[in-house]
Homo-oligomer: A and B are copies of this chain.
Amino acid sequence: MEQVCVGVDIGGTSVKLGIFTLSGTLLKKWEIPTEPKNDTKALIEKIGKSIKENLKEGGLSLTDCVGVGMGVPGPVMPNGYIEVVVNIGWKEVFPARILSDLLDGMPVALGNDANVAALGEAWMGGAKHIKDVVMVTLGTGVGGGIIIDGKIVPGKHGLGGEIGHMHVRESETEKCNCGGKGCLEQISSATGIVREAKKLLAKKKDTSRLALIEDLTAKDVLDAAKAGDKLAIEVVDIVAKYLGIALAHIAMTVDPEIFVIGGGVSKAGDFLIDKIREKFIYYTPITKSKADIVIAKLGNDAGIYGAAKLVIS
């Protein structure tokens, strides 16, 4: 029997799971609800049971599986300790140890979800087989993951890749969720894009089709920009400018071979990527040789891919 590994991506609503060959072929994927919350042991027990059942259905035993990797939506200390993960109610736990005990001592690895997604894209996605990769996820917030020499850089205080909270705009007056001001996430997340659009609309309402839309979304703004709406283009230029500055900061720190842009906002495709690239080039005049910027390929599966890779890297 070919050996396999399992990737688990624990989100606020659902837990995604996948069985992979060691060379990165997804054999099976499924989901279970993230229930119960606030009880790490109970959820991990459900995950362990589900892994056993699905391996068995695939004609696999525990000994065919080299290990399980898990991504969680919060900071993970280098020793696998989790202080707190707010949106699933975990506190002061070592989740990998619990799961390993349930799976006859099988190796279980743990990582932060944004870091793990970056590893997934570096394994089988937009940066396939590239060893120095930075992924930026533009969703409700802005997350990031740094892969150097094929390995996640988790950081010593759980901050590795927390690029959404880089202070990039000096003139910002509103506070970010993190307590700071001028964070990248305040501008370039889906939420940030809507906020920027509303700020401009408040100034010059009559000039944009966006003024007619109730419950404005980031997609509305990006679609309008693509269609030539001037105010929307102005918003996208601001969003791309601060992303370009942040990518330049990252380049002048770890200088990856490639940046992978993922998350819901990245569905805007080349239109957005081209603008980000233009700004990135502008803010890195020091060199002609630049990192590539590409779109993520694995979508919502990046987490299970990267989690699985955790145990075979």
A-side interface residues toward B, CB under 8 Å?
A: 75, 132, 144, 146, 148-149, 151, 153-163, 165-167, 169-171, 178-180, 245, 248-257, 283-287, 289-291
Contacts and interface: CB of A to CB of B under 8 A. Distances in A.
Contact of A285 (B154, B180, B249, B250): B180
12 contacts: A75-B287, A132-B156, A154-B255, A155-B255, A156-B291, A157-B289, A157-B290, A158-B287, A162-B252, A162-B286, A180-B285, A253-B254
A30 B201 CA distance: 66
Contact of A167 (B149, B155, B248, B254): B248
If over half of A's interface residues share one DSSP class (helix, strand or loop), that class is named, otherwise mixed; here it is loop
A155 B290 contact: no
A255 B165 contact: no
Contact of A169 (B166, B170, B248, B254): B170
B166 A248 contact: yes
A286 B178 contact: yes
A171 B161 CA distance: 27
Given A157-B289, A249-B249, A283 B171 contact: no
Interface centre among A159, A165, A291 (most CB of B within 10 A): A159
A256 to B, nearest CB: 6
Contacts of A285: 178-180
Contact of A252 (B165, B179, B255, B283): B165
Copies of this chain, complex-wide, total 2
B155 A254 contact: yes
A254 B255 CA distance: 12
A256 B156 contact: yes
Contacts of A257: 156
Contacts of A170: 169-171
Given A148-B148, A178-B285, A253 B158 contact: no
Given A75-B287, A156-B256, A167-B283, 8 more contacts: A144-B253, A149-B151, A153-B253, A154-B255, A158-B287, A159-B286, A178-B286, A249-B253
Contacts of A286: 159, 162, 165, 178-180
A188 to B, nearest CB: 14
Nearest to A286: B178
A287 to B, nearest CB: 6
A252 B166 contact: yes
B252 A159 contact: yes
Given A167-B283, A178-B286, A153 B254 contact: yes
B252 A163 contact: yes
A235 to B, nearest CB: 18
Contacts of A75: 287
A291 B255 contact: no
Nearest to A77: B289
Nearest to A292: B156
